[in-house]
Amino acid sequence: MKESLIQARLEKLKGLREKGIDPYPARFSRSHTIGEVSAHFSFLKEGEQSGEQVTVAGRLVALRRMGRASFLDLRDGSGKIQVHASAGRLGEERYQELCSSDIGDFIGVRGDVFRTKMGELTVEVAEWSLLSKALRPLPEKWHGLKDIELRYRHRSLDLVANQAVREAFVRRSRMVSAMHRFLDARGFLEVETPMMQPIAGGATARPFVTHHNALDIDLYLRVAPELYLKRLVIGGLERVYELGKSFRNEGVSTEHNPEFTILEIYEAYSDYEGMMSLVEELVVTSAQAAVGSTRITYQENEIDLSPPWQRIGLVQAVEEATGLSLDGVTESDIRKQARKKGIELPEFSHGKLIEHLFERFVEPGLIQPTIVKDYPMDISPLAKRKQGTEGLVERFELFIGGVEIANAFTELNDPIDQRARFEDQERLREAGDDEAQRMDEDFLFALEHGMPPTGGIGIGIDRLAMLFTDSPSIRDVILFPTLRAREVRR
RNA sequence: GGGUCGUUAGCUCAAUUGGCAGAGCAACGGACUCUUAAUCCGUCGGUUGCAGGUUCGAGUCCUGCACGACCCA
């Protein structure tokens, strides 16, 4: 029974306290991290003594007792090292105390560095101290923690037990910091805009609602930072970005988590063509930082991220994939053609139909990086009309590995057109589309004072992290994915 | 929301047709001064996710529920 495992450790804890040993001391000074010791003493040959002492600390992850001498493995954030302890060196009592440590305890040791006859770099313990007593056993040392529900609910254990998980989150962090450096170096200003908004705008999605007690108003968790970032461009902050959480009140899947991380970038005097080049460079730079290469493997597919990426028109791509002819054709024409080909279509409006056909027939095949451009206007209420076309806007989405990674526009800066687009969205809402965007008078007020020609892009950070870590599920790149609440384990 | 699959010891997994719930690791006790998944001997550890039902007998079959995974919308 688990209680007895904990009980045994509580007994040990009591025994330590009775001996005057603090099982949770406040601090411990180490001379080196374990990684530093490994690097510094790499020259030692088999059986060779360095004659130098180090003080290291870490979690006890293995204990191999052989009577009056033992080998222990300690792990810290930089690596793992073997420690040798003997009763002869430590004295009987301290040796026995060390050997009665449990896997999972944090321990600090001081001692000489040497290499064993078998070639393992080892610290010979001259002195040691307990730094933190673990009361619960760690997951099994060899198989680790596999139960996917336990891994998500108890990520700390997942990280302790599974090295690949630690590495994935390190990669994600490297990717994000490379993005900051990239944008900072190009003169983009990092800003923070409200996550709680009176109107959740900037994307087609259902929001979470919350309530501010003192003001007695409902606020929405943002579905995108877009409309606030554009206000900044209007105000003269010509290059801005925000990298942070947004929230969409939708189902959970391998590609969706209710809270997710998005990078939005706005650049005055750029446009969607400019954003295409920007995202190519940004993805290459962050791939180099995270993976060390622009060639990656994602779910058995070899992907070459080096630019230039293929650029295709949305409508043409759908026409080629389906054999339908869509250019300048009405919704009922599309339905008529589809029926002839035996393609069933849901009750969507014109733009949504094309998007639906795209998602069904084109998107899964977009393994190599592909920019899909020129979207129907009715599903893109914040993007500028494309000159010389009927009902298309300057918008593109980026697909890699069959997954949507980014969405970008030449931003709509005509306030009269923007108002008309919001009105269209309101009509859709009244017709029952609860994902339709809201009329945002405050945003229009700002826009009516003039926004320069601007390009903007939103990049799904979690999705990109999936690609860079070869993860099949978004939950593998989110430290604490959203799960249904469950009774706390005792 | 629908479909399929899963839930057995702290962890990783077994259990034949419905017939005594098991192993490895961990824990506990013992032997062992170059091990590294240490080894060897012994011991402990179970409300088989929860609630019902069928049956002489249920981990196994049936119903409902909870949680999760995958697919679809």
Each residue's pLDDT tens digit, A270-290: 999 999 999 999 999 999 999
Each residue's pLDDT tens digit, A457-482: 999 999 999 999 999 999 999 999 99
- Is 90 exceeded by the pLDDT of residue A385? yes
Protein-contacted positions of strand B (CB under 7 Å): 1, 6, 9-13, 24-28, 31-39, 44-47, 66-73
Q: In 3D, which of A107, A102, A99 has the Cα closest to residue A75?
A: A107
CA A222 to chain CA mean position, Å: 18
**Segment A327-339 mean pLDDT:** 85
The predicted structure's pLDDT at residue A2: 58
> How many angstroms is C1' of B71 away from CA of A471?
18
> How many angstroms is C1' of B26 away from CA of A92?
26
The pLDDT confidence band at residue A347, using thresholds 50, 70 and 90, is confident
Contact (CB, 8 A) for A78 and A57: no
DSSP secondary structure of A309-377 = PEEEEHHHHHHHHH----TT--HHHHHHHHHHHT----S--HHHHHHHHHHHHTGGG--S-EEEEEEEG
Q: Give start and end residues of each alpha helix (H) in A19-162.
A: 34-40, 87-90, 92-99, 148-153, 155-161
- Is 60 exceeded by the pLDDT of residue A327? yes
Sign of the dihedral through C-alpha A328, A329, A331, A337? negative
A63 beta carbon < 7 A from strand B? yes
Backbone conformation region of residue A440, classed left if phi is above 0, alpha if psi is from -120 to 50, else beta: beta
- Which nt has its C1' nearest the CA of A255? B70
The predicted structure's pLDDT at residue A484: 87
Q: Which of residues 84-123 of A touch strand B (CB under 7 A)?
A: 86-88, 100, 102-103, 114, 116-120, 122
Residues linked to residue A303 through DSSP beta bridges, in sequence order: A296
The predicted structure's pLDDT at residue A51: 94
Q: Let me know the angle formed at the C-alpha of A339 by A333 and A345, rounded to the nearest 5 degrees.
A: 85
> How many angstroms is C1' of B18 away from CA of A1?
29
Q: What ipTM describes this predicted complex?
A: 0.91
Beta sheet of A454-460, edge-to-edge order: A189-190, A239-247, A259-268, A454-460, A403-410, A392-400, A370-376, A310-313
By three-state DSSP, how is residue A63 classified?
strand
- Is 80 exceeded by the pLDDT of residue A293? yes
Q: Which is it for strands A403-410 and A392-400: parallel, antiparallel or unpaired? A: antiparallel
- Is 80 exceeded by the pLDDT of residue A368? yes
The pLDDT confidence band at residue A341, using thresholds 50, 70 and 90, is confident
The pLDDT confidence band at residue A6, using thresholds 50, 70 and 90, is confident
**Segment A103-128 mean pLDDT:** 96
Each residue's pLDDT tens digit, A188-219: 999 999 999 999 999 989 999 999 999 999 99
A364 burial (CB, 10 Å; 0-12 / 13-18 / 19+) is exposed
Closest amino acid to nucleotide B25 (CA–C1'): A140
The predicted structure's pLDDT at residue A330: 84
Contact (CB, 8 A) for A456 and A264: yes
> How many angstroms is C1' of B64 away from CA of A485?
21
Q: In 3D, which of A180, A409, A385, A384 has the Cα closest to residue A275?
A: A409
Tokens 């493995």 map to which residue? A73
Q: In 3D, which of A405, A470, A401 has the Cα closest to residue A165?
A: A470
Each residue's pLDDT tens digit, A126-167: 999 999 999 999 998 888 899 999 999 999 999 999 999 999
Q: Which is it for strands A121-132 and A106-115: parallel, antiparallel or unpaired? A: antiparallel
A65 beta carbon < 7 A from strand B? yes
A62 beta carbon < 7 A from strand B? yes
Q: Which of residues 263-302 of A touch strand B (CB under 7 A)?
A: none
> How many angstroms is C1' of B54 away from CA of A56?
63
The predicted structure's pLDDT at residue A487: 55
Contact (CB, 8 A) for A317 and A363: no
Tokens 């809201």 map to which residue? A438
The pLDDT confidence band at residue A454, using thresholds 50, 70 and 90, is very high
Each residue's pLDDT tens digit, A40-77: 999 999 999 999 999 999 999 999 999 999 999 999 99
